[in-house]
Structure 1
Amino acid sequence: MLVLGIESSCDETGVAIYDTNKGLIAHTLYTQIELHAQYGGVVPELASRDHIRKLTPLILQTLKESNIDRKELNGIAYTAGPGLIGALLAGSSVARSLAYALNIPAIGVHHMEGHLLAPMLEEIKPEFPFICLLVSGGHSMLIRVDGIGQYKLLGETLDDAAGEAFDKTAKLLELGYPGGPNVSNLALKGNTERYKFPRPMVDRPGLDMSFSGLKTYTLNTWQAAVKDNDATEQTKADICRAFELAVADTLAIKSKRALEQENLNRLVVSGGVSANREIRSKLDALMKKRNGEVFYPRLEFCTDNGAMIAYAGAQRLAAGQSNDLNFAATPRWNLEDLAKI
């Protein structure tokens, strides 16, 4: 089954073609980073307009590069949520219209299911069941996964997600957009011993997380440095290092608890923040100590992309699931509500 996947939930326009027999055929990605950088964050209306401009050329480019005629497609998958409503509608309307014109089925994919299943695009795939740590700009979640559509939410962030905290930290330190990679790169120059930031909510039971207080702690530390005439680039690097270590340790502690609670020893880590070097290092060390397995998507599939949507949608289309013409974008969508395959 040949499936075209379309991702447009936020500030990246992704298109891919996935074959249920041959695997991933092709994928293209356009990022809006330069567009939003001048504003220090994503502007929803501008994001929606840019998706509209880029979607058709990207679809045509992907088909051409893979030497596939659109009439050969057997189905179309598109991100239906969660995400920015205008951006979701841009992708949904193009996907649903193309499916109607070609008289093939289409299905709306849960964006977080796409991230969760992204490691399945790799040659070595995780077996079910496993614990998934899903960390992105808008979500930080621990999920037990027993199969596609068989998800149990174990814990989530109560306020800022890890990626959001990275971006806000970058903004208050004036590191530019996108914030996460800038914080991580500057942290490489930081002194590990200078600052010790708290590990939020690790001193209480449960698997929920919170990163808003850590962001505030970062702000207070920086303001104290400014007051002491120590607002140097090295101080920024030291703060970034302390912040990144605190996030990585917190995620590792919570992941360990989830594995122990569910009596599992297989961990999948996905979402944009899963590309972070320190977080990967901490989780690698955790699973090595436990003699367990840890799986990540390749770096290009950590952030939003069409390949993960094509894969997730292909599994559901192959199982006979599809959506009718009355499509709807779903900015908020409970992962546990998805149908089983």
Structure 2
Amino acid sequence: MSTDVIVVGSGVSGLTTAVVLAERGLRVRVRTREAAELTTSSVAGALWWPYRIEPKELVGEWTVRSLRVYEELARRPEATGVRLVAGVLADTRFAELGPWAAEVAGLRAARPGELPAGHTEGVRARVPLVDMPVHLAWLRQRLEAAGGVVETRPVASLDAAAAEARVVVNCSGIGARELVPDPSVGPVRGQLVLVENPGIEEWLVLADGASARTTYLLPQPGRLVLGGTAEEGDGRREPDPVTAAGIVERCARIYPAIADARVLGHRVGLRPARAGGVRIEAERLPGGGLVVHNYGHGGAGVTVAWGCARAAAALVPGG
């Protein structure tokens, strides 16, 4: 075979895993049904934080390994799309964070003056905030520099892909529901509004893991990302005008200038949630081929991308 590994999926998990494998000397092809700029990863707010992801006993290691990579990439933000940005996560207790929190330099309890009105608890940190269109393009360039190839050609089945390579790495995200098939995979719909930034330099997230509505503001180059939603089981890909108006209204309560900011666009992404959490596992297919699964990252695909990529690569012979 002319290909050692076929990676299914060109989101952040697929491209990062492909980079790790290609830079270890394997011949890698990424197969995708849609270009990276059309994936859920491309519209992600992309703040590094372990949000809506399981299992907790593994997430800490994955997040810290990824953090270390992003800290290095943040030295070249224009090229990589990664910046270290300060901000506040409200309604979160510092003491209740996992052991991973000790690895985040400067992470501390927020002071009263740093919290939005009506909120009494939170944490403050300077963490990676990733401009995903730039980052995905950079990942592809890095992959191609290592000899990898990206093909916009859907995979009919894992067995079909296994006929073309020694190993298939399944990073199909929400597509794993049909491709594996894995009925425990389902969408958590996230809707965003992009506006001109009225001068906000720090990110802000109001945490409520039990609500279908979330509120956050993420300053990205050339825009301010307003969010959002976390609608479980909702596979709608079109923006909802009523939802968009609610997002702007909630964010404007915190920063009134947002109410008059010019809207630049609307985005919807389907977070690939999975009951039981992330699946990183090697499996023999009925046809005899080897597949390594790396999917089910929920709302934290960017946060764990490098940690999960290395864990998946460890299951690939020669990787």
Task: Tell me the TM-score normalised to structure 2 length.
Answer: 0.30
Between Structure 1 and Structure 2, whose CA radius of gyration is higher? 1
- Higher share of residues assigned helix: 1
- Higher share of residues assigned strand: 2
Task: Tell me the TM-score normalised to structure 1 length.
Answer: 0.29
